Structure 1
Amino acid sequence: MGFQISSTDIKAKDKHLLTAHCQRPSGETRYSELDLDQFLGAKKGQFSWGDRDFSKSSRDVVFKLEGPKNEPMLHAQLDDGKGNAQESQVNLGHCIKNEDGHRRFMECF
C-alpha cells in the first residue's frame, strides 16, 4: 500500500522536499517532510532510486496524484549529462511508506 493512501495534503516543496500530513495507527495525523535528495538521484535524464541529489540537475519539478489509484508521481526535466533536458517521472509510492505518521524510504530496487 502506497503512503498516499494514509496521507493528505501531499506536496513537493523546494523541488526535493515531499511534505504531507500522515496518519498514525491511532488515527491522528502528523506533519512530515522527507528529503527526496537523500535517496533519489538522476542518471542520463532518468530518476534513479538509491542515488542522491536529483534536484541539482532538475527543473520544472511537479508532484501529482494520478490515475484511478491516485499514484504519487513526481515529474521533472532532468539533465541527461550532455546538456539536454529530458522529461522523466517516478512513482514515489514504490519506495516510500508511511511508518507511524512519518514517511520513510524503503529499499525497493
Structure 2
Amino acid sequence: MDLTELQARARAVRARYADVERAAYGRSWTTEELMLGFLGDVGDLAKLVQGKAGVRPRADLDEALAHELADCLWSVLSLADAYGVDLEAAFTSTMDGLDAHLAARQAEGS
C-alpha cells in the first residue's frame, strides 16, 4: 500500500469512527480529541519500547508494538487529513531539509 492508499484507508476508518461517535455521543471527535487519542497511543508505544528494552516485558510484545505503531500512523494520517496537509509533500520537504542540514554539519566536521 502506498501513502495515498494508506490515507484513503485511514479516512474511511475515521469516517466509521465518526459514525459510532455520533451515535454514542451525539457528535464526532474534534481534532483536539483526535490529538489527545494520539497522545494516549504514543504513551502506549513508549511502554512497548520499554518492553523491547527489557523494562516492561509481555508475552505479545512484538504484536502489540506493531499494532501501536499502526495506531500512531493512523492518528498522524487522520490529523493530516483533518488539517488538509499533503503528508507526502510535507515528508519529502522535511527529509530534504534534514538531508541538507546533515550534509552541512558533516561538511563542517570534515
Give the TM-score normalised by the residue count of structure 1. Answer: 0.23
Structure showing greater radius of gyration is 2
Q: Point out the structure with the larger helix share.
A: 2
